[in-house]
Structure 1
Amino acid sequence: MNHIGHLHIPARTIMTPGPVEVDPRVLKAMSSSILGQFDPQFTAIMNDTMGLLRKVLQTNNHWAFPIDGTSRAGIEAMLCSVIEEGDGVLIPSFGRFGGLLTEISERCGARVHSLVCEWGEVFDPEIIIKEIKKVKPKVVAMVHGDTSTGRMQPLKEIGYACRELDVLLIVDAVATVAGTDVKTDEWMIDGLITGTQKCLSVPSGMAPITYNDRIETILMQRKSIEKGLATQTQLSMNNFDRRIRSNYFDLSQLQDYWSPARLNHHTEATSMLYGLYEGLRIILEEGLQQRFERHRVNERALVVGIEAMGLSLFGNPNFKLPTVTCINIPEGVNGDAVRTMLLEDFGIEIASSFGPLHGKIWRVGTMGYSCQQRNVLLTLGALEAVLLHHGANIHKGEAVQAALDVYKNVGRVHVK
């Protein structure tokens, strides 16, 4: 048998749109002893985590808890628990992840109505509201901030219209929660999903969600059908089709697990919950508004530095996602070669993009613990050096200085 060496993890500065660097306090919390999932000490942590999530998600919803799995698990749990066979679902898509919502909704049996806009733009809310009135869907499902294009969709007007028209609004806020303002209740969002691996600065593996009583009513109706089928009292094919098809992602069962009843559903991801608990505590210690300002300042320094270098940004600047900056790759430059050199020679990781933007833009994330002055300055300096090595025509020595001017004008913004 070949010798298997010790696990070796190289040092990295992660400036992608996710995953991001994890706060050391979170890693320490995750190394704590394992508790049984029904140990009173552990169920107390579950309850406290729900309370912390309500504050971070800016909601008074009773139900706010994590799905064990990546962000996609949370999206699937929400959609497959709400959407029934034949339900109309309107999905306005302005990037790759609108396509993900479409695929999952179709797998749930939805009649999907798609709205698509050019990548790099977002929708005028009135266009979406007009389409809602036209197709009369049960659900509007959409992304708040799409990392593939670096754009952020305004939601407030859409949320108000959905509530007025008795349509459910389900939002993928994976890239925005804890990095910019996401007002679940004020924007009248019925169901919201986020993820641990982005602005929460916790390892990938949990998808915090929240939903209100409008969605809970649907869950209880579908749960009663399941119970009827189990007792042979409602055996029509119509009722059979209305069941929540997934067991693992059945929110009606999961909320029983997170309720005081503690009905066994799965074995909780103990260490991940420790990490989420500590990550949420860190966010609230920093303060939501202070955290949003830190993200704005570091984003501004990065953008000013990129532009001072002579590079251009992709997309409509009026709707830029504050946690992701998309940079047009200069003509004649091999974008993948630049990324490889940044990683291998400087230990810095940035991202390419997807579909029509692959090979055309780089995406730099400023999220959570990665969103700090040191990382921004290192990335700008390294990117300049690599571009010069590849013969790019850029302005030498100006990027870092321009970013330093931003920090000097606003004062240092530290990760807390």
Structure 2
Amino acid sequence: MSTTASTRATPAGRGPLTEFFLGGSRARRITLLLVGAFVLVSAVRVISGEESLTASSTIAAALLLAVPIGLAALGGLFAERAGVVNIGLDGMMTLGTWGAGFCGYQWGWQAAIVGGMLFGALGGLLHAVATVTFGVDHVVSGVAINILAAGLVRFLSELLYSDNPAGGGVTQSPALTSRPPEVSLPVLSSGPDLLGDLERLNWFLLSDVAGVLRGLTSGVGPTTILAVLLIPISYLILWRTAFGLRLRACGENPAAADSLGVAVYRMKYIAVIISGSLAGLGGVFLVFIAGIYREGQTNGRGFIGLAALIFGNWRPGGLAAGAGLFGFADALQLRSRSAVVALFLLLAVVLAAVAVWQATRRKLLQAVTAAVFAGITLTGFLTIDELAPGLVSFTPHLTTLLVLSLASQRLRMPKADGLVYRRGEH
């Protein structure tokens, strides 16, 4: 009996540390991971003295910067779950920014949302025609859409904004006639500033919780609320409805789905058009932040959204975490160059934990590699006071590369993702 209990407690090939994190439900593991990460960030904030790590202003900026990335990632989720790789997310976001700017300066912010999503959906439709109907390589079609979108918005701006009495020019639209209202959630952010008072005390953990809650609940726009709600809505659609089952079947085994009566071509079209409209909505959000359309406004966020999708293992919750991580890195580099150095300490602790984890799994090469890099980053934290501006601005992209490299071994893309499907040729 004791042998059986021991076997259940520690299965073959697992050490006690591995079993602690891998055992139990998925929800418990995720909760433990999130709580542990938050405690670690709070400890780094106290040790480094960089209050901006969890300041409400940093969290609010991170939310603003994460929303367009998350919307682009959600767009990629629908397309790739249906088996269509969407490298053209950035181009569809670009079309969305122009559509939002054009409709917003004429009819207000509500029309900007509709216009941006329609322009993004047109980009998705073009991608679907090329990949689904004509069998063009998905990557080639996506790159072409990115190039085409940049040229198209410049042409439309020259055509409609040059010498426009309302303002604007070849690289920007006239200002929006209205912008969406901002609201603060009741209790947490209305009335006396209880969260603000607690945040200013700089206590370990409690002040960090107050800063995060204050940043997430103060001055939130309707598009932000919509973007957050789209995460669980997308999960319910894709994993809890017959439509979602058919769509995912097209990305896993389109021939089998076709044999069961699923209209594979139609499902792929619907998925890619939804993908474009969501990416376009991300472009709308960028226009709302600036109050105007500007050329190059996406700044590569469509590609970072694609990276967030891959980091999230093609799941809504995972891509939301990836978008939040990249948005936080971007917000932090805007807030403080010295605060970015504090991330070295955070990274050193994470790498040290990875080294211990790999050691318990008897993967010595990976453990030694992680330990060496942990030592390098810790040395950087102890010796560097402030990074150069060029390196600071590269922080979000460096974070993207690092996270993807660490997560690459556990990723599983849809089996038929990126494959050209032709009925009868499987």
**TM-score calculated relative to the size of structure 1:** 0.23
**TM-score calculated relative to the size of structure 2:** 0.23
Higher fraction of strand = 1
Larger RCO, structures 1/2 (Cα 8 Å, 6+ apart): 2
Higher fraction of helix = 2
